C-alpha cells in the first residue's frame, strides 16, 4: 500500500472510530465512560459481538450483507491504547446523554490490507475534539456508545 493510500485508509478509520460521538464485555456500561471503555476494549480485542453490544440498540440494525461487510472492515484495523484518560460532560437538556472525551494517552492503529500491515501511533491530546469525543446514551439503565457500527 502506498503512503497516500495508507493515509487515506487511516483517515477513514480514524473518522469511523473517533468521530461522532468499559471494561464490561458484551454489554454497555454502568457509566458513559464505562460504555466507551467497553467499545474500545471490544475493538482492541477485535470482538465483533462485544462491539455490537457496546453500541446503542437503535444503532445496531444492519442487514446481513451490511453486517458481513462491516465486520470484515472492522477486523482489518486493530487498535491498542496506552495511558488512556477520559472526561465526561453530561447534557444539560437530557441527563441520559453525555459526551466522553479522550483527554490523554496514545492510540496505535495497525491496518492489515491484503496481508500488508501498516502501523501508526497518535497522541490523543493532539487530535481534534471531534475526533476524540464519543456520544453516549443511557437506555434502560445501561450506557452505550451512541454511534453507528464502524
Per-residue model confidence as pLDDT tens digits over 67-125: 999 999 998 899 999 999 999 999 999 999 999 999 999 999 999 878 889 999 999 99
Q: Is the pLDDT of residue 7 over 70?
A: no
Q: What values do phi and psi take at 58, rounded to 5? A: -70, -10
How confident is residue 3, by pLDDT bands cut at 50, 70 and 90? low
Higher pLDDT, 26 or 73: 73
How confident is residue 25, by pLDDT bands cut at 50, 70 and 90? very low
Q: What values do phi and psi take at 105, rounded to 5? A: 120, 180
Exposed e or buried b for every residue in 35-66, given b needs 16+ CB within 10 A?
bbbbbbbbbeeebbebbbbbbbeeeeeeeeee
Q: What is the pTM of this model?
A: 0.78
User: Tell me, what's the pLDDT at 93?
Assistant: 97
- Can you list the positions of beta strands (E) in 51-93? 77-90
User: Tell me, what's the pLDDT at 82?
Assistant: 96
Helix (H, G, I), strand (E, B) or coil at 75: helix
Amino acid at each position: 500500500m502506498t503512503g497516500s493510500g495508507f493515509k487515506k485508509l487511516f483517515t477513514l478509520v480514524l473518522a469511523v472510530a473517533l468521530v461522532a460521538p468499559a471494561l464490561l464485555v458484551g454489554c454497555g456500561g454502568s457509566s458513559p465512560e464505562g460504555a466507551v471503555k467497553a467499545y474500545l476494549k471490544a475493538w482492541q480485542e477485535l470482538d465483533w459481538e462485544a462491539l455490537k453490544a457496546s453500541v446503542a440498540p437503535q444503532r445496531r440494525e444492519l442487514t446481513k450483507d451490511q453486517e458481513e461487510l462491516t465486520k470484515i472492515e472492522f477486523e482489518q484495523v486493530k487498535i491498542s491504547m496506552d495511558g488512556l484518560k477520559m472526561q465526561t460532560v453530561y447534557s444539560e437538556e437530557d441527563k441520559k446523554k453525555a459526551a466522553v472525551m479522550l483527554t490523554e494517552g496514545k492510540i496505535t492503529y495497525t491496518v492489515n490490507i491484503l496481508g500488508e500491515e501498516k502501523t501508526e501511533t497518535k497522541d490523543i491530546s493532539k487530535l481534534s475534539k471531534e475526533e476524540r469525543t464519543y456520544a453516549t446514551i443511557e437506555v434502560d439503565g445501561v450506557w452505550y456508545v451512541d454511534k453507528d457500527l464502524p
